[in-house]
Structure 1
Amino acid sequence: MIANQSAEPPIEPRWLTVEMVLAIHDEQLALLGGPEGVRDLGLLESGLARPVNRHHYNPETTIFELAAAYGFGIVKNHPFIDGNKRTGLLALHGFLFLNGWRFDPDQVEEVQMILGLAAGDIEEDELARWVEGNSREA
């Protein structure tokens, strides 16, 4: 969990930046191919603001819920011409890593989850539970 149980304020997570996510996107396109480009920078910024807003409105939100919010925000907002699912998934991984967690799911299940998210078959809360079940402190 991000928040502690004491009277002290909750710990602020290390957030992803637009620049970080653009670098993730560029790298995965270089590795796996696809048309380059941002379709709508505002949609990317909105997707990246989703977990930040969740945390500020509810500091008890878990690190896994915040990671899922990154994945959901990028995949569902579709800010890139191509590579939205890949970028959303890698952003989820990167956020957990930045905050001291290792996310190590089964690769087949990982593909199924991200495709299900994109298709609307997986909800954000289900994604968060799956992320939690496949994460451990680094």
Structure 2
Amino acid sequence: MNEPYWISESIARVMHEDQLLQHGGSPGLRDESLLSASLARPQYLFAYGDSPTIFDLAAAYGYGLAKNHPFVDGNKRVAFVVMATFLELNEYSLDAPEVEVVLMMERLAASLETQESIAKWLKEKSVKR
């Protein structure tokens, strides 16, 4: 696989602000190092993993952001938006009903889903553009 287009920290922050404007919540970054670690997770997997797919990389973003809670509020929302945007940047469209997305992100935050199960779900719900 060629090097994918990544989500930068500044873009992730804008996505977070946008989610708060759309859906409400408390603004603020709780821990900058956790944000950096969450966004580095897929790049580390790309560099050192065993042939990760684009869905593995997207799931690494979502898992890191949802589990690390770098923001004061809206972590699950931004985790999903970052995953979906990453897939879009890399020529995939995610097509999942909103209720299914909410359930999956709630399950991820509650440790009922793994990074691998999220990757599988993303693959099932994505279409190559």
TM-score by length of 1: 0.91
Match of 2:39 in 1: 48
| Whole-angstrom distance in 2 between the partners of 1:62 and 1:127 | 12
Match of 2:25 in 1: 34
How much does 1:108 deviate?
Answer: 1.2
Deviations 1:56-108 (A, max 9, x none): 00261000010000000100000000000000000000100111110011221
Match of 2:108 in 1: 117
| Whole-angstrom distance in 1 between the partners of 2:118 and 2:91 | 19
Q: Percent same amino acid among aligned pairs?
A: 41
Deviations 1:109-131 (A, max 9, x none): 11111000000001110010000
* Unaligned stretches of 5+ residues in structure 2: none
Letter of the structure 2 residue corresponding to residue 76 of structure 1: K
| Whole-angstrom distance in 1 between the partners of 2:98 and 2:20 | 19
For these two proteins, the number of residue pairs brought into alignment is: 129
Q: Which has the larger radius of gyration?
A: 1
Displaced runs of 4 or more, over 6 A: none
Given the alignment, which residue of 90, 101, 104 partners 1:99? 90
Of 56-65 and 117-126, deviating more is: 56-65
TM-score by length of 2: 0.98
Given the alignment, which residue of 105, 123, 127 partners 1:132? 123
Letter of the structure 2 residue corresponding to residue 75 of structure 1: A
CA RMSD of aligned residues (A): 0.8
SS of the residue corresponding to residue 79 of structure 2 reads helix
Match of 1:75 in 2: 66
